[in-house]
Amino acid sequence: MVQVSSMKEDAVTSGHGSGGRLTQKLTERILSRFETEGFEMEDCAFLDKGGNDADIAVTMDGFTVSPQDFPGGDIGKLAVCGSSNDLAVRGVEPRWLTLSLIIEEGLEFSLLDRYMESAARTAKEGNIRLIAGDTKVVPHGMADKIFIAACAMGKKMSSRTLQTSNLRQGDVLILSTSPGRHGAALAAARFNIAAPGLTSDCALLWPSLKPLMALDGLRCMRDCTRGGLGTVLCEWAEGASLGVELVETNLPANRETNAICDILGFDPLYLASEGCAVVAVAPEQAEGCLDLLRQNSISRDAAVIGRIVADHPRMVGMKTRIGGMRCVDMPVGEILPRIC
Amino acid sequence: MPESDLKAPREGPANIEALRGKLSEYLECAGRPLTFMEVCGTHTVAIFRSGLRSLLPEGLRVLSGPGCPVCVTDQSEIDMALSLAKRDCVVLTYGDMLRVPGSSGSLLKMKGEGAAVEVVTSAIQSMEIARKNPEREVVFLGVGFETTAPATAVTLQQARRNGLDNFSVLCLHKTVPAALSALCSNPDLRIDGFILPGHVTVVTGLDEYAFLTKKLRRAAAVAGFEPEEILACMTDLARQVAERDFRLSVWRLKDVPIEGNPAARRILSEVFEPCDARWRGLGVIAGSGCRIAEPYGEFDAVRKFGLDPAEDVVDNGCRCGEVLSGLISPPECELFGRVCTPLAPVGPCMVSSEGTCGAWYRYHQ
Ligand code: SF4
């Protein structure tokens, strides 16, 4: 008899927080306990019309980033952007915000003030109002300085619902900026690697996505947070039972992100972005969509990166720089730097 | 430097087409299917990631060798690291070692249970952590080949200079040429050519590999990690076989100094001494390991904590040894993709992003 001593799944590991396959399993496990019928559980949920003309949408997100200060932002800005972007990609204008702060005893007021000022500034920029909140202080060692949970709400600004099931064969995929900048900036900070010029892409997406609401060929959008672009596309392929074909040479690239990835053995496809959206649009409106995106500075580098295909359903393939084909799978477990 | 009609590749797809054509020609000249082995895990990933595998002609089989440091780390070695974590030491390691299963779980699992296990990206960083935490015993896991060993050696020199008494290294470093020589002595193995890792030869120099071409009459060439370089290397390997002209060549955009890095080698020989090492699945290979030499003995975690490296190892059905020596490809292991997946790896070949089984699983569906 062969004795198998593999790593059993008897406890939550840090890999369950990576955004890839393990995170999918974790959320399925939690959701299976609940009655979720009628909600498609994509980024945000739409509530009944509350007497208004538009649907109200709501989403919830937790932020436990380390380090809390990173080039291009901090945990305060991230909480506002991250939660609002989940609305923006579904065609919802972010309007209201609630914050729950879990603060570790000993956090300097100067830090707390700075994060909250940063959150407030970002909210103001996006015309988002704080409408409720909560604070808890936990003993030293029970949190990492500060954890923030953010609930964002807004109004749906498109008559259609943008969702994975809209995807059709032939749809064009557009990426709004180079992938993985947030993850690379954090990795550089965490592993003490000098990366001059590398900043997180952390930004509010709504201003750049709002003009796309005019396109009736707009199918579906997603922000590439944990698990990165690769994970989003795998979820789309699986969700729509269609294939995705990427063209490596079309992907917008960032030199500093690539340098960090080379050092640590990461693939930018799987690193988190916090101000980068992937957009699926009908082929005849791809050019128009690209033009609209490029008018905004955060999506100036937008590019067509591939399309939805009927071949290899549920799989993401990538045509490589040298003309080969390879499979892009969802990452498994925490992304860890390699040895050599 | 041997002359050949191939030039080091500098361009993209056009060059790829030309190289593919040449490779097919040489394969035809050779008159039989050929088997090459890429020795290094970084090559394995580069080959999969670049889609190169999909462009190789029929009649060429490419196997992955024992050059992924994670994959060759033996279960008994992981068990020593686990026992250090259990003793309340701060255990510092390069990233992908965290997931390698020992006989009772992995470092990642222990970290989840509250053990002080942290990821570092350099050996020097681990010494800094020891300096900042004088009240804790800090142990760095020295893993990897000639590429990472010099950094561990320099760290040990500095630790001695600084008189750090709460710092030690669990030294699991291994050397590549010894493993290749062991592989070649296996009569079951029919490998026609070796793709040698560029970054290892930067340290060792080419001389260490001359036995492959001169004594054993196998094709061998050094390649960088760009797909064009790897393809050019494969093409030259096929040429060497077809023309029975076995001469080491180098396919890198940047030059590899043929003499390697003498300064790094000097430090290695001062801090380490050769010892027999246990390779996962391959067994003990004489002279293939690095032991911390006597003058640095106080920093040797094995001596400091009285670790026993020769514990018995549970047979878990993993066939990594056969995978690493190219006797089978991953899907031939009955656990592959069923019991053993990146989610629940049984063997280290599935753990590492550079491991053969992991790379097959990720890119080869
Ligand atoms: S598939 Fe898993 S068990 Fe089989 S050889 Fe590879 S790592 Fe070992």
ipTM score here?
0.75
Angle of helix B149-161 relative to helix B123-132, nearest 10 degrees? 30
Strands (E), chain A: 45-46, 56-63, 69-70, 73-74, 92-104, 129-138, 146-156, 172-175, 218-223, 243-247, 277-281, 303-309, 316-319, 325-328
Site from B92, B362, B364 to mutate, A interface, most A CB atoms within 10 angstroms: B362
Q: Cα(B108)–Cα(A334) distance, rounded to whole angstroms?
A: 10
Check CB contact under 8 Å for B54 and A318: no
Beta-carbon pairs below 8 A across chains A and B: 159
CB B273 within 8 A of CB B300: no
**pLDDT over 80 (residue A49):** no
Check CB contact under 8 Å for B95 and A337: yes
Check CB contact under 8 Å for B53 and A323: no
Taking the CA of residue B271 and the nearest CA in chain A, the distance in Å comes to: 20
The residue count for chain A: 340
Residue of A nearest to B120 (CA): A191
Measured in Å, residue B348 CA sits from the centre of ligand 1 at: 7
Q: Does A24 touch chain B (CB under 8 A)?
A: no
Q: Cα(B139)–Cα(B162) distance, rounded to whole angstroms?
A: 16
Q: Cα(B346)–Cα(B327) distance, rounded to whole angstroms?
A: 19
Nearest one of A160, A289, A302, A306 to A215, comparing CA atoms:
A289
H or E element that contains B336: none
Q: Cα(B146)–Cα(B127) distance, rounded to whole angstroms?
A: 20
Specify the pLDDT at position B21: 95
Specify the pLDDT at position B364: 67
pLDDT of A28-37, one tens digit each? 898 889 887 7
Half-sphere exposure of B137 (CA within 13 A, CB side): 17
Residue reference for tokens 């960090």: A260
Q: In B, which residues are within 8 Å of A325 by CB distance?
A: 51, 54
Specify the pLDDT at position A154: 95
Residue of B nearest to A337 (CA): B95
Specify the pLDDT at position A336: 65
Check CB contact under 8 Å for A14 and B111: yes
Partner residue facing B50 (CB), from A7, A22, A321: A321
pLDDT of A173-232, one tens digit each? 999 999 999 999 998 888 778 888 999 999 999 999 999 999 999 999 999 998 899 999
| Nearest residue by C-alpha to atom 1 in ligand 1 | B336
Q: In B, which residues are within 8 Å of A337 by CB distance?
A: 94-96, 119, 121
Partner residue facing B95 (CB), from A322, A329, A338: A338
Check CB contact under 8 Å for B343 and A323: no
Identify the burial level of B96 via C-beta atoms within 10 angstroms of its C-beta, where 0-12 means exposed, 13-18 middle and 19 or more buried: buried
pLDDT of A252-301, one tens digit each? 999 999 988 888 878 899 999 999 999 999 999 999 999 999 999 999 99
Specify the pLDDT at position B6: 58
pTM of the model as a whole: 0.83
| Nearest residue by C-alpha to atom 7 in ligand 1 | B347
Check CB contact under 8 Å for B49 and A6: no
Nearest atom within ligand 1 for CA of residue B322: 5
Per-residue pLDDT of chain B (365 residues; tens, 9 = 90+): 444 445 566 666 778 999 999 999 999 999 999 999 998 888 888 898 899 989 999 999 888 888 788 888 888 899 999 999 999 899 999 887 888 888 888 898 888 888 999 988 888 889 999 999 999 999 999 998 888 898 999 999 999 999 999 999 999 999 888 888 888 888 877 889 999 988 777 788 888 899 999 999 999 999 988 899 999 999 999 999 999 999 999 887 666 666 778 888 899 999 999 999 988 878 889 999 999 999 999 999 999 999 987 656 667 788 888 887 778 889 999 999 888 988 778 888 888 767 788 888 877 65
Taking the CA of residue A8 and the nearest CA in chain B, the distance in Å comes to: 7
Residue of B nearest to A327 (CA): B363
Q: Is the shortest distance between the CB of B320 and ligand 1 below 6 Å?
A: yes
Q: Does A159 touch chain B (CB under 8 A)?
A: no
Check CB contact under 8 Å for A340 and B144: yes
Q: Is the shortest distance between the CB of B323 and ligand 1 below 6 Å?
A: yes
The residue count for chain B: 365
Check CB contact under 8 Å for B112 and A13: yes
Q: Cα(B42)–Cα(B324) distance, rounded to whole angstroms?
A: 14
Nearest atom within ligand 1 for CA of residue B320: 5
Measured in Å, residue B271 CA sits from the centre of ligand 1 at: 34
